Structures are given as structure tokens and as C-alpha cells.
Amino acid sequence: MHATIRIATRKSPLALRQAELAAAALRARFPELRVETVPMTTRGDTPRHGADAHAAHAGTQAGADTAQADAHAAHAGTGGTQADLHAAQADTHAAQAAAHATHAGGKGLFTRELERGLLDGRADIAVHSMKDVPGQLPGGLVIAAVMAREDASDVFVCNAHDSLEQLPEGAVVGTASLRRQCQIRHRFPHLKVAELHGNVGTRLAKLDAGEYAGLILAGAGLKRLGLDARIRSTLPHDVCLPAVGQGAIGIECRDGDDAVLALVRELDDAPTRVCIETERTLARRLGADCRWPLAVHASLHGGVLRLRALVGDLAGRKILRDERSGAAHDGALLAAAAAEALLAQGAGELLAAFTAQSAAPSAS
């Protein structure tokens, strides 16, 4: 048995907490094992990446807001059509998509450096939020365990209201996720949904400073940080379906490192793995990742696997859904069928449009 296990982790409070949860689980099963954390800085954590992305977002958002304001003025002053107004709003959301993609930076933004640490021997395992893990892993690495999942739901955080339904018209709701943005815009078109980035503490500070009326966050992260008291309500999945892998902690290690694999696999939760693999299979079939306006959630009860998925446009005007159930061992078949059903509804066109918006250079 390994005398010591070194855990690669990001330096954010939530990442460190999740690494400690994995470490505690290993110590509980193997009391003689020494477990150390190896904090690393990923590209998503670097100040330069954040500054560049925020600058890009500010530039595209300012141009989009100006265009939308001009359209509102024209509509009010000259009897312009609703189509004109909707076109300007579409331009706004396209600009937001491009800025978001700049901020997101690409697949593996929060995992790549940890994986380098595994491959070059600086660490033995890496602990990730499964929603951050790209669909394809680097060669030589495997997800050896998926720990028991926390509630995957998104939650509403606010200092003055208990639910999104109570917010007044025009109230600003903050979230970094395009998945959440499209669903909230669809369900609550009278609210203004705005970009919000940073770790959990930064986001809560912006709420407390009055920059936002409310926030949409992953409930699992708040609970792991002991911030349950900030949660005002949990969003039902028919209001905001979670992201692929949300609420689950995955442990990655080198394929073929049998001694480490034997230890880590003791932490694997079989029902959670079935659900996560089903969700990830559907996302791979669509060619999508966590940056996209895609939501997928699988749950397993009494041997029945239920899979729900949606794809939307950023404006929230079009939401495509699919839901199906089957046996637990049929997760891959369910995922493939759900992906085909979404594509038949037009998901390919929606995702292609999003890709084109993300790739387009911002106006100067």
C-alpha cells in the first residue's frame, strides 16, 4: 500500500474543501495512510485570465447594451415593431455568449494543470467537481471514483426575498452559467440576468454590496462550505435543470497505477457513477461541455434510471427538452436516445449557433 497519497487540488476554498472531503474518506478507510494536499493554480484561477476575460466581457456587453437601448428608444419613439426589439435583444445575448466564451477559455480550464501534476508525478490523485471535467480525459488518466453525490439542484440566494417569483420586474439576477441564464430568462422574462464570475465568496460579496438582487448558485458548493444559511430556496428541476455532473466529486488518477487505483476505488459510489456517466455520455453525443446552454440530470431510484435534458438559446426564447426512463444498466442507451431526440428537435442548430456566436470577434 502507498504510504502517502498526494492530492492535486485548486486553491479556491471550495476546491480545498472538496479535496479535504476526499482525504477524510481515504483516512477513514485506511487509517495508516498519510494524505497530503498539493494546491495548484489553474488557468481559470489566474488574475490575468480573469482580467482579460472581464475586459472582453465589459466591451462586448457595453456594445450590446447600447444597441439594445437604441432599439428600445426607436421602438418607443417611432412605433418600431416588436421584431426590431427582439432582434436587438438577440444581438445582446450573442455578445454575452461571445464574452462568456472568452471568460470560459476552453475545456479543462479548471482541470488541466491538475492533470499535468498527475502525469508528471507531482501528485497521485486529483479531486474535481465533475461538472468541470471535460468529456474526454487526457491519455493515461481515468476517473477512478465518483463520490456520493450531494443534491445537484441550483439554489436562490438573496438578502430580501425568498424566491425568484418575489423579485420585482427588472431585478438583476447574477450567474456565470449560460445554462442557468437561458432557463431563468425563459421562466422569468421580466428579470434581468447578468454575468457574475469569481469564487463563492466573491459572488456573495457582490450580492451583499447591492450589485445584484439575487444569485443563482449550486447548492452543493454552499453546503460544503457551511453556507447553508445563505440559501433562500432550492430551484425545482422544472425551473432550472442542473449541469452535467453537478453536485458530484470525482477523483482522477493515472491509469495503470494499480496501488492508487485500489485505494481510490473504495470511495466510488456506484449509483452516483451510473448517473454521472449517463449525463456525460449524453453531453458527448451532443458535442457539448459545461460552457454551453445544456442541462442534464440523471437520478436512480429503485433500479429505475430517470434522465432529463434540455438545450436552450441564450435569450431563453427556445428550450428543447427530453425525458426518459429505463433500467440502470441502460444508461448509455438512454443517453444516446435522448441526444437523438434533442437533435431531432433542433438542438444541433441551437448549439451550432452558440458556437458561431462564441467564435465571432467582438465589435470594437
Which cell is 136 given?
474526454
106 vs 156: CA distance, rounded Å: 27
C-alpha distances out from residue 343 to 185, 298, 346, Å: 22, 19, 5
CB-facing half-sphere around the CA of 267: CA atoms within 13 A: 28
Q: Which of 232, 234, 202, 229 is nearest to 218 (CA)?
A: 234
Q: How far apart are CA 127 and CA 18, in angstroms?
A: 7
Question: Which stretches of the chain are DSSP H helices?
Answer: 13-29, 47-78, 82-104, 112-119, 178-187, 200-208, 219-224, 258-264, 270-286, 331-345, 347-359
Q: Could you tell me which of 220, 226, 170, 166 has the C-alpha nearest to residue 194?
A: 170
Q: Which cell goes with 360?
A: 465571432
Measured between alpha carbons, how far is 125 from 264 in angstroms, rounded to an integer? 9
Q: Any idea which residues carry the catalytic annotation? A: 132
CA-CA-CA-CA dihedral for 275, 278, 281, 283, to nearest 10? -70
For the beta sheet containing 319-327, the strands, ordered from the edge strand earlier in sequence to the opposite edge, are 294-301, 304-312, 319-327
Contact 90, 48 (CB under 8 A): no
CB 283 within 8 A of CB 244: yes
Cα distance between residue 363 and residue 107, in whole Å: 24
Note the helical H segments in 195-330.
Answer: 200-208, 219-224, 258-264, 270-286
